[in-house]
Amino acid sequence: MGTAADTSATAVRTFRAPAGAGAPGLTGLRGVSVSAEPAVVTETQRYDTDDLRLAAAGIRLELASEPGAAQWRLTLPGEDDVIRLPATPPDVEGADPHEPPGELDELVRGVRRDRPLRPVARVRRVRTTTRLLASGSPRAALDREEVSVATLGDSTTVDTWTEFTLYPPARGGVLAAELERRLADVGAEPAEPAAQDRLDELLAPARPRRVRRGKKGTAGAVLVDHLARQVDTLATQDIRVRRDEDDAVHQMRIAARRLRSALQAYRPLLDRARTDPLVDGLRELGRTLAPARDAEVLRKRISDAIDELDPALVLGPVQAQVARHFARVEAEARAAVLAELDGPGYAAMRTALDDLLADPPLSARARRPAKKELPKVAARSARRLEKAVAHMRADPVDEAIHRVRKDAKRLRYATEVARPAVPGKQVARFAKGLKGMQKALGEHQDSVVARTVLRELGAQAHAGGDNGFTFGLLYGRDQAAATLVEAQLPGLWDTAWKKKARRWLR
């Protein structure tokens, strides 16, 4: 997009005056002549849903236009960079230049969900540039802009003012001071450009999301606060997943799991008629995200393991085969993830999560003090884990070990909810004690999944006329690693489950 005057300025200064303020007189300035340029009209339209969901999420989607050029701009929360795409020229047959590009719409679809986007506000500027020349060369410049900010829709709010932008000379303090004095004569005062901030203010009624936490210090208030943080994380990771950013799928999966675990572990504090459908939806989301995350982890695990082998043990184009295999798997997994995020079930779940925070279905127990009630409810997850461990000790098969891993993770997430309410460092010490066991359980599960893939890769190599030896070697190593973990688990459990460590559970 075009900018104002091109001068040798070193420090641009901006000023604001009431609407209709005239331009300062610039005649009689020693050593310079004045050259006024024709007025230029620029317009920026803000797009959003009727209920302003993008504004509530801190997102700006805009169509900025000036003579001969137009572009779409998307500003995401917490990011300095603006995503820019050229707008479709108005003379392209069959294309609507006012329709947001699919690439940008995809990024905000998790926020807008089933609501269409339309212009909800507009910033209009009429800019007149006056150049100050010395012997035909630019010395300084002054932009005068008539600014109009308006909301669009059933009702309209309009605000207008005048902005001046001074591009002072690199050398020439006397001239700069005189220009500022003349600006003051027309009522202009130093101020930052305000159009976008004013637009945000006009759209602000939608901004704060309603979250009813209940009475401070109650179990329900602490639980809802935790759920609100995870819902925010889920929304943030939704955009990152759509942008295909590193680790985004993993972080979104963790947020979904934390939400699901909290809703499950603290069922006595909630109305299950409203939370059980959410648990099902979050479980389905996790299942869809799992293949994408597993493929990412396994590709690195197997590729790194091959790199660490003695080259004499690497028979055939194994790295190339691994790359081909996971390129296909990851592409299919990503397509499945995007289909899930664009589906009606996911949109309905996100809306239900917002409704849950706005009107939490808390039970009578949720009104009890958090420091007593949350540990009592978390103890249910602890007993569940104890039963899973007893079953694993009696029959240490992969499925039983995986069950322990899942229940240990559920207890860990339940512990996260209770931690702010329990005084001292009891919960932190308990979580630290579980860490070693959880790490070992994770390594065991990774080896189980990796062996399945290694067996498949070995079979593919053989069928293609290559040697599957290297994949078989890695299979054996993973099997040995799993056996070692199985031998260590009883001791790790005894360390993690000391009576003193879990005293806070009651």
455-478 confidence digits (pLDDT tens): 999 999 999 999 999 999 999 999
Confidence check: pLDDT of 21 > 50:
yes
Decide which of 432 and 227 is more confident.
227
Confidence check: pLDDT of 384 > 90:
yes
- Number of other residues whose CB lies within 10 A of the CB of residue 400: 17
SS (H, E, C) 64-132: EEECCEEEEEEECCCCCCEEEEECCCCCCCCCCCCCCCHHHHHHHHHHHCCCCCEEEEEEEEEEEEEEE
The β-bridge relationship of strands 82-86 and 69-75 is antiparallel
In which band, very low, low, confident or very high, does the pLDDT at 209 lie, cut at 50, 70 and 90?
low
Q: For 296-342, how does the pLDDT look when each residue is reduced to its tens digit (9 = 90+)?
A: 999 999 999 999 999 999 999 999 999 999 999 999 999 999 999 99
Alpha-carbon distances of 7 from 29, 31, 171, rounded to whole Å: 17, 16, 12
- The secondary structure of residue 362, as a DSSP letter, is B
**What is the average per-residue pLDDT within 145-161?**
93
Q: What is the pTM of this model?
A: 0.84
* pLDDT for the residue 10: 58
Confidence check: pLDDT of 3 > 60:
no
CATH class of 219-496: mainly alpha
Which residues, in sequence order, are CB contacts of 133 under 8 Å at separation 6+?
32, 33, 34, 35, 139
Cα 292-293-294 angle, rounded to 5 deg: 95
Alpha-carbon distances of 235 from 18, 291, 309, 358, 410, rounded to whole Å: 40, 20, 41, 16, 22
In which band, very low, low, confident or very high, does the pLDDT at 8 lie, cut at 50, 70 and 90?
very low
In which band, very low, low, confident or very high, does the pLDDT at 31 lie, cut at 50, 70 and 90?
confident
Write down the domain spans for the chain: 13-206, 219-496
Q: For 92-118, how does the pLDDT look when each residue is reduced to its tens digit (9 = 90+)?
A: 666 788 899 999 999 999 999 989 999
In which band, very low, low, confident or very high, does the pLDDT at 1 lie, cut at 50, 70 and 90?
very low
* pLDDT for the residue 90: 72
* pLDDT for the residue 205: 61
